[in-house]
């Protein structure tokens, strides 16, 4: 099953409120809702609004509408991904999300049917947003599949992925530090070698003498 887990953001839940797929009002609403299931319900509302706007555009057959449709589909997909991340973050924090699967299934089942009907109707400008529509369908399908998983098993899976990613990050950081130390040692050795080469290239100066030109020390003829 394809997974759309945004592991990097799992421990930064408020970051979703900063994404531009939400309006300023929606951002405020998200910030006010801290309980995971309540936040998921809020995202379901946002997703429905995007699809309602999409249906309105499709009904009007407005010239040049494809750009607006692509944006709505992209926003919708981001919102669906955000729902999954809220659920996964709650599992990591061991918050109670037993009600979340039912909420997601109820909302996203309707969304998937709506998206599939749009795809089946083959609008005349479908080619302009076909990729975005497929992405929206894939995200919704993944969300529904995730909602069917056992929460305990899913929690273990998510935690395992987070631990794996953290190990990978630690390994990269360690390698960078090692490389940095090696480069520093190499730079020091190169600087020392360069300094030695410069010293060797300098002309050897004769020690100073108090004798006049041509004058020899008294015992120089012995």
pLDDT digits (tens, 9 = 90+) for 98-153: 999 999 999 999 999 999 999 999 999 999 999 999 999 999 999 999 999 988 88
pLDDT at residue 215 in the model: 58
User: What's the pTM value of the predicted model, to 2 decimals?
Assistant: 0.69
Contact 76, 68 (CB under 8 A): no
Angle at 174 between CA 171 and CA 177, to 5 degrees: 150
11 — pLDDT class (breaks 50, 70, 90): very low
Contact 105, 147 (CB under 8 A): yes
Residues 78-113 pLDDT 10s: 999 999 999 999 999 999 999 999 999 999 999 999
pLDDT at residue 32 in the model: 95
Residues 57-79 pLDDT 10s: 999 888 889 999 999 999 999 99
Residues 163-221 pLDDT 10s: 787 788 888 888 888 887 777 677 777 787 777 777 666 555 455 545 455 655 555 55
Contact 58, 123 (CB under 8 A): yes
50 — pLDDT class (breaks 50, 70, 90): very high
Dihedral in degrees, nearest 10, Cα atoms 54, 60, 64, 66: 30
12 — pLDDT class (breaks 50, 70, 90): very low
Dihedral in degrees, nearest 10, Cα atoms 151, 156, 160, 162: 50
Contact 73, 129 (CB under 8 A): yes
Nearest to 43 by CA among 15, 77, 91: 77
Helix (H) or strand (E) segment spanning residue 74: helix 66-92
Sign of the torsion angle spanned by Cα atoms 19, 22, 28, 32: negative
Residues 6+ apart with CB under 8 A from 116: 137
pLDDT at residue 187 in the model: 75
Two tokens, residue 196: 């030695």
Q: Which residues of 38-47 are buried (b: 16+ CB within 10 A; e: fewer)?
A: ebbbbbbebb
Mean pLDDT of 151-159: 79
């Amino acid at each position: 099953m394809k997974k759309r887990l945004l592991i990097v953001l799992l421990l930064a839940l408020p970051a979703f409120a900063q994404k531009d797929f939400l309006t300023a009002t929606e951002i405020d609403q998200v910030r006010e809702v801290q309980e995971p299931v309540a936040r998921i319900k809020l995202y379901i509302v946002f997703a429905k609004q995007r699809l309602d706007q999409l249906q309105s555009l499709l009904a009007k057959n407005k010239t040049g509408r494809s750009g607006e449709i692509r944006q709505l589909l992209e926003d919708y997909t981001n919102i669906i991904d955000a729902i999954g991340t809220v659920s996964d973050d709650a599992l990591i924090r061991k918050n109670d999300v037993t009600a979340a699967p039912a909420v997601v299934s109820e909302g996203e089942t309707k969304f998937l049917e709506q998206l599939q009907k749009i795809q089946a109707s083959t609008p005349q400008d479908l080619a302009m947003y076909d990729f975005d529509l497929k992405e929206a369908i894939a995200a919704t399908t993944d969300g529904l599949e995730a909602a069917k998983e056992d929460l305990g098993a899913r929690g273990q899976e998510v935690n395992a992925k987070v631990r794996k990613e953290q190990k990978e990050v630690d390994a990269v950081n360690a390698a960078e530090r090692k490389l940095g130390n090696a480069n520093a040692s190499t730079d020091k050795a190169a600087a020392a070698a360069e300094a030695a080469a410069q010293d060797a290239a300098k002309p050897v100066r004769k020690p100073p003498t108090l004798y006049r030109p041509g004058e020899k020390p008294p015992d120089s003829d012995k």
